[in-house]
Every structure is written in structure tokens, then in C-alpha cells.
């Protein structure tokens, strides 16, 4: 009688093992086997991290094995089981791999196909077509779209983390409990004693050091020592937490009536301001998005304020960016003066602090939350709804949406919800952040997620002209490495553009993103369908780059750049100044966040800047969804290209007082998971 050797691998994460009864059935082209209990006498099967083998004898010839069915039945109490993969050795000595990498819960069962990636057109056998269809039908019931707030990209229909499908939950919910993590952060930073001191102002700038953790030679300490300098202020628009706003100014806006006379002491080329604009030396950051956004009113004891500044920057003879004019609101007028470096010291400093605070709000809510977290969640939900596990694009993307839906669900549960942690310390809490996302959806376009296009659209693409823009330089290297990899994978499975067009599952995936993620807005520029291999490769690069590199660039520097509170105030407790010559140091300190809000802010940026335990970085694919040699070779080339990028960045950073490392691939997690 034919005998098969079955090898079963259990996951190594916490609580992955099971004591339940596990049964296996084989489905072949010539027949199906009986249900076999996988059990060895006097042996604890399916322990966490174990690889167990069993001999299974069947009554008759089964032909080619097409599917295997795994069933879990209760032994004592229900425990979930994480099955990594099953390997089958046939009576003829052939090995067949069945990747799983999923949880089996309750009295559950799972039907697996072998690991070769297949498009729908490759499946001619009825049982395989049926398996494919049923998997998507089940997933579409589990992964439902929901509108969390009007105008937002749609998100997963789950109120709490525990309501999510088990496969996309965190291994341990405790690890992503924001309340717990922020409190733990405050303990680690020794700032618990201040965290409840709301309404209590600091005495002076030096007083902020009481909650500032000094770690020798870090960027954060350098920020503390140099934050008041114009060079440090300008540098952050290129290589800080939010390096996506600065753009070349091609025409001075009418709403900023700045003249050559006002700024001539800042200009170094003996040219008028208009000539400097023509020569491409003037840059602008406009926070128009914040105009009219409601400030946080959740604490009746503390008034909080927002501004919508316009900041003009100049590329000096050393090719460094320095601010030369700041107007704190959008409409010019006597009570909205243009602040200048030639003004009194504290006038100019407070104007810069207002810009830094505004930059913090746009960074947190738009650059970070909307344009990495929420967008990546859309990609993840659409993938689970429209691509079966056997589809090559599912196998390619699944590592890049790992835990994204879970972290966003947790954020909606604890962080950005009404009365959530975001309301505690941020001037855009209490609903302002929601208004911001609704507005920013107008600018969320496909082109703006294509890294090279986004850089070019802001006039920031010339390395000769703007030599110290490391975010751009490193981002382009990573983008190209990802694009080469996706093109390799697309080339393996799609022999022509026609195959792309005819892949209905792929087209449904793209359409889901357009209709539900982008809310069917034509102006978003998101494609409704994809017609060429080249466009598919670009689209997949957008998905992977957004989830990995873009998120890393705007997330993991938060403690570096925002922990010195005056450099990134999460709220301001007095309105912007309406006249010059009246600002004092005392006024600035009373405007900055109080002790309690400072501590909540510090806990937040510390917690958000930490990597996950067992983090998987770009190019690491420990879950072997792909089993074919050509794809594994493409992955090896990808890792080699990423290693080369790591070396280039490490060499550039040598002896730099302010190294830029957020886009070094060995520091880029595969997915948005924090």
C-alpha cells in the first residue's frame, strides 16, 4: 500500500503549539485518502517551534496530490495552532511543499495547495478552481470594508483588535497596547513624576532637560544643543522627520508679500529676491492645510492654538537651507507680520517654533498616519479580499502588510479615537486631526506615492543643486532596488502585457484599492486597472515602498527630532504673536506645552520610534510562500542590492555629526507595524 511521509512545522511564536487532535487527508487526481490522525505514542506533538514527521499509509493509489486537508479537533481545551508548512514525501520519492503560515482556531480546518504560485489561467482542474474561489469568498466575508470617518480611506470592519481575523492579529496584544507602551515609555524615561502635571509651565528652556534623556552623541542631544540655529531649522526640512513638504519656489505667492528689502541681509549672491527665485535658490513650505482646523478643546483648563504658517527658505552659498521669512497665518495683514532673521531674537525664535509645531502636526497626521498607515491598510485589505494565497502577487505582498491592519485597528481603538491618547497632548486632538485627513485626501494621489515623481514634482530632484538631501538620495536607491525586484517577479509569472490584462484577480485587487481606498476619486490618479507588466511593477513598488521605506523614513526618527520639546511642540498654549518686539522668553515658555503634555508627547515619540520585537527588515522573507527557484534567486539578488545600498549609506555617514540612516535597508522594517 502506498506510504507518504508527512512533515509538519509548528510556528515558534508564543502559544503557537497545540494539544488538540490533528487529522490529515490527501486529495489526489485519482482519489482521496481517509482522515489520518497525526499522533506519535508517548510524544508531545505540535509543540511550539517543533518539526514533526509521520508516516501515512493509504489504501489505494491517489495519483498526483492536489490538496491536503488539515483538521483540528478539541482535546482538552481549545488552543489555537500556528501551522508554518507541511512537506509531503510521495511513495515515488518526490517532495511537495505546502506553505501555510496561518492560525487554525477552534474546531478548524484548512485546505492547502502546493506552494507553486499560480495565476487563475494556470488552473485547469475543477477542484483547484473551486478551492481558489472558495478561499476568496471566505476572505471577503472576513475582511470587510468600513468607513471610520467620512472622507477617510476605508478601513477594516473591526472595532477592536480582538475582532480581527486571527491571521492578522498581533502574536501578543500586550505588545501593542498604546496605553501600556506610553506608560512604560515614561517609566523608562524616568518622567512619571511629571506626567500628571497638566497646566504647570516649565521655568525656562533648560527646565525641559529634566525630562530629556541624554544618550551620548545621539541626534536628539545635538538637536537640544543647536535647535535655535537657523541651519538646524532648515536642515530638518531636508532630513528630519518630515522631509516631504519643502519645495522649490518658482513664484512668490501673493499671500506672502515679502520684499527684497526685508530679506536682503539673508541673501548672499547680491541678487534681488525675484532673481534668487529665478535662479532656483528660494524654497517654500506652506502649511495651508492647517488653516481653519479646530484646535483641541478637550481640556477646559487649557486653551490650545494652531497656526498655518508660510516659511520661505534660502539655499546659501554653502548649499545649506536657512529660513529667511515666516508669516504665521495665510492672510497677510497688520496683525500677521512677516518675521525675519533680522528681527529681535525671541520674535524670530517664536516664529520658528510655530513652524516646527505646525510641521509636527502635518507630519503626525498626514505624512505618517494617512500616507503610510492608512494607505498601507487599504493595500492589505484589498490583497486579502481579492488575491488567493496561491497568487504570486499575494505571496509577494503578504510580508509587506504584516500587522498593519492590526496596528491601525489598535490606533483607532486607543490612539486617534474620541478621548484617545492623541487628545491628551496634541493641539490637533479632539477632532482637528480628523479634519486634516479629510482635507489631505484631496492631495493623496498615485503620483505622490511614486517616490521619484514626488521628488520631481516638488522641484527637489537635482543632486547638484541640492546636495544635502539624503532622504531623496537614499530613497531613490531603495526605490530602484524594490522596482528591480518587483520587475523580476512580474517577469517570472507574466510573460506578456496580455497576461496582466487577463488576470482578473489582479484587476479586482487594483479596483478595490481605487474604489474603496481612494473612494473612487478620478483626481487621485490611482489606476482602476493595470494593462502592462511595467505598470504592474511600478504599482507593486508603490505598495512595498510605502509600507517599508516611506514609513521608516517618517517614523523612526521621531524620538531623534521630536524629543526636545521646543523643537517639535505638540501643542501651543497661546495664539501666534500679532506684532513684533513684544515677545519675551517667559512668553515663549508659557506658550510651549505644560509639564504633563510634554511627558505624554515624550512617551509617544519614544514608543513610536522603537522597532518591534523580532522585527523583519526589508528583504527578509522567513515565511517561504514562494518555493520556486527563479523567485528565490530574485530574492537573493534583491538582498544583495539592498546590502550594497547599506554600504553606500554607511560610507556617506562616516564621521557625520548628523548621520542620516532612516532609509538604510537594515533599518527599514518590511511593513507598517508600529
Could you tell me the end-to-end alpha-carbon distance of the chain, in angstroms, rounded to an integer? 53
Q: Say whether 80 counts as a known binding-site residue.
A: yes
DSSP output for 274-307: HHHHHTT-EEEEE-GGGTTPPPP-S-TT---B--
The pairing of strands 321-327 and 338-339 is antiparallel
Round to whole Å and give the CA distance between 361 and 366: 8
Q: Does 108 carry a binding-site annotation?
A: no
79 known member of a binding site: yes
Residue 199 has pLDDT above 70, yes or no: no
Report the alpha-carbon distance of residue 139 to residue 403 in Å, rounded: 17
Domains of the chain, first to last: 3-114 (2.60.60.20), 366-555+620-667 (1.20.245.10)
DSSP state of 572: B
Residue 530 labeled ligand binder = no
Mean pLDDT of the region 267-292: 98
Q: Is 64 assigned to a binding site? A: no
> Coil, strand, or helix at residue 400?
helix
Q: Is 60 helix (H, G, I), strand (E, B) or coil?
A: coil
User: How does pLDDT run across 491-533, given as a tens digit for each residue?
Assistant: 999 999 999 999 999 999 999 999 999 999 999 999 999 999 9
CA–CA gap between residue 572 and residue 364 (Å, rounded): 16
pLDDT digits (tens, 9 = 90+) for 335-391: 999 999 999 999 999 999 999 999 999 999 999 999 999 999 999 999 999 999 999
Tens digits of per-residue pLDDT, 609-634? 888 878 899 999 999 999 999 999 99
Task: Tell me how far CA of residue 207 lies from CA of 182, 224, 321, 512, in angstroms.
Answer: 22, 12, 29, 52
368 is in an annotated binding site: yes
* pLDDT (0 to 100) of residue 211: 63
Contact 585, 345 (CB under 8 A): no
Query: 461-472: string of b/e by CB count within 10 Å (b at 16+)?
Result: beeeebebbbbb
Question: Is 39 labeled as ligand-binding?
Answer: yes
Q: Does residue 422 have a pLDDT over 90?
A: no
Is the C-alpha dihedral spanning 594, 354, 451, 389 positive or negative? positive
If pLDDT is split at 50, 70 and 90, which confidence band does 77 have? confident
Tell me the pLDDT tens digit for each residue of 163-174: 999 999 988 755
Helix (H) or strand (E) holding 226: helix 219-226
How many residues comprise the chain?
Answer: 674
Q: How far apart are CA 131 and CA 267, in angstroms?
A: 69
| Distance of alpha carbon 178 from alpha carbon 238, whole angstroms | 30
User: Which cell goes with 413?
Assistant: 481603538
User: Which residues have a Cβ under 8 Å from the Cβ of 383 and sit 6 or more positions away?
Assistant: 393, 394, 397, 398, 401, 509
674 is in an annotated binding site: yes
Amino acid at each position: 500500500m502506498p506510504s507518504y511521509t508527512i512533515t509538519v512545522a509548528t510556528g515558534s511564536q508564543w502559544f503557537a503549539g497545540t494539544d488538540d487532535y490533528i487529522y490529515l487527508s490527501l486529495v489526489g487526481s485519482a482519489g482521496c485518502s481517509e482522515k489520518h490522525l497525526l499522533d506519535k505514542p508517548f510524544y508531545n506533538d505540535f509543540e511550539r517551534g517543533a518539526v514533526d514527521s509521520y508516516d501515512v499509509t493509504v489504501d489505494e493509489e491517489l495519483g498526483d496530490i492536489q490538496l491536503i486537508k488539515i483538521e483540528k479537533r478539541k482535546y482538552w481545551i481549545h488552543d489555537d495552532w500556528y501551522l508554518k508548512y507541511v512537506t509531503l514525501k510521495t511513495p515515488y520519492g518526490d517532495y511537495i511543499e505546502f506553505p501555510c503560515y496561518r492560525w487554525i482556531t477552534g474546531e478548524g480546518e484548512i485546505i492547502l495547495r502546493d506552494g507553486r504560485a499560480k495565476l487563475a489561467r494556470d488552473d485547469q482542474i475543477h477542484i483547484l478552481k473551486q478551492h481558489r474561489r472558495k478561499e476568496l469568498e471566505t476572505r471577503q466575508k472576513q475582511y470587510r470594508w468600513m468607513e471610520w470617518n467620512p472622507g477617510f480611506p476605508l478601513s477594516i470592519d473591526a472595532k477592536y483588535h480582538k475582532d480581527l481575523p486571527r491571521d492578522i492579529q498581533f502574536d501578543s496584544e500586550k505588545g501593542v497596547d498604546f496605553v501600556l507602551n506610553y506608560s512604560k515609555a515614561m517609566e523608562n524615561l524616568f518622567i512619571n513624576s511629571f506626567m500628571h502635571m497638566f497646566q504647570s509651565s516649565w521655568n525656562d528652556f533648560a527646565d525641559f532637560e529634566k525630562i530629556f534623556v541624554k544618550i551620548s552623541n545621539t541626534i536628539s542631544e545635538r538637536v537640544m544643543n543647536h535647535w535655535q540655529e537657523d541651519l538646524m531649522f532648515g536642515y530638518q526640512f531636508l532630513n528630519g522627520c518630515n522631509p516631504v513638504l519643502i519645495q522649490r519656489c518658482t513664484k512668490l505667492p501673493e499671500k506672502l508679500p515679502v520684499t527684497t528689502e526685508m530679506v536682503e541681509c539673508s541673501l548672499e549672491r547680491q541678487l534681488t529676491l525675484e532673481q534668487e527665485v529665478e535662479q532656483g535658490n528660494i524654497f517654500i513650505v506652506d502649511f495651508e492645510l492647517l488653516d481653519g482646523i479646530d484646535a483641541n478643546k478637550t481640556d477646559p483648563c487649557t486653551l490650545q492654538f494652531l497656526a498655518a504658517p508660510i516659511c520661505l527658505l534660502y539655499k546659501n552659498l554653502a548649499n545649506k537651507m536657512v529660513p529667511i521669512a515666516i508669516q504665521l497665518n495665510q492672510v497677510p495683514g497688520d496683525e500677521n507680520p512677516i518675521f525675519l532673521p533680522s528681527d529681535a531674537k525671541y520674535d524670530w525664535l517664536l516664529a520658528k517654533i510655530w513652524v516646527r509645531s505646525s510641521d509636527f502636526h502635518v507630519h503626525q497626521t498626514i505624512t505618517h498616519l494617512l500616507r503610510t498607515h492608512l494607505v498601507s491598510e487599504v493595500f492589505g485589505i484589498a490583497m486579502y479580499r481579492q488575491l488567493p494565497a496561491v497568487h504570486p502577487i499575494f505571496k509577494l505582498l503578504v510580508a509587506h502588510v504584516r500587522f498593519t491592519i492590526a496596528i491601525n485597528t489598535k490606533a483607532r481603538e486607543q490612539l486617534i479615537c474620541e478621548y484617545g491618547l492623541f487628545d491628551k497632548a496634541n493641539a490637533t486632538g479632539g477632532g482637528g486631526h480628523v479634519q486634516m485627513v479629510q482635507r489631505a485626501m484631496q492631495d493623496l494621489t498615485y503620483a505622490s506615492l511614486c517616490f521619484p515623481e514626488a521628488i520631481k514634482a516638488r522641484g527637489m530632484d537635482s543632486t547638484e543643486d541640492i546636495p544635502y538631501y539624503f532622504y531623496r538620495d537614499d530613497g531613490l536607491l531603495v526605490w530602484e532596488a524594490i522596482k528591480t525586484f518587483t520587475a523580476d517577479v512580474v517577469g517570472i509569472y507574466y510573460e506578456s502585457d496580455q497576461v496582466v490584462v487577463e488576470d482578473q484577480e489582479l484587476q479586482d485587487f487594483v479596483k478595490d484599492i481605487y474604489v474603496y481606498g481612494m473612494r473612487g476619486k478620478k483626481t487621485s490618479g490611482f489606476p482602476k486597472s493595470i494593462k502592462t507588466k511595467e505598470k504592474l511593477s511600478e504599482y507593486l513598488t508603490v505598495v512595498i515602498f510605502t509600507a517599508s521605506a516611506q514609513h521608516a523614513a517618517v517614523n523612526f526618527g521621531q524620538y531623534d527630532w521630536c524629543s526636545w520639546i521646543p523643537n517639535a511642540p505638540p501643542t501651543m498654549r497661546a495664539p501666534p504673536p500679532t506684532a513684533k518686539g513684544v515677545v519675551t522668553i517667559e512668553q515663549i515658555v508659557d506658550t510651549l506645552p505644560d509639564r504633563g503634555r510634554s511627558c505624554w508627547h515624550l512617551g509617544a515619540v519614544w514608543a513610536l520610534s522603537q522597532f518591534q520585537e523580532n522585527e523583519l527588515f526589508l528583504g527578509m522573507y522567513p515565511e517561504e510562500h514562494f518555493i520556486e527557484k527563479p523567485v528565490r534567486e530574485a530574492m537573493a539578488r534583491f538582498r544583495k542590492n539592498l546590502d550594497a545600498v547599506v554600504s553606500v549609506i554607511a560610507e556617506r555617514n562616516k564621521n557625520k555629526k548628523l548621520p542620516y540612516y532612516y532609509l538604510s535597508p537594515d533599518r527599514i522594517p518590511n511593513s507598517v507595524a508600529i
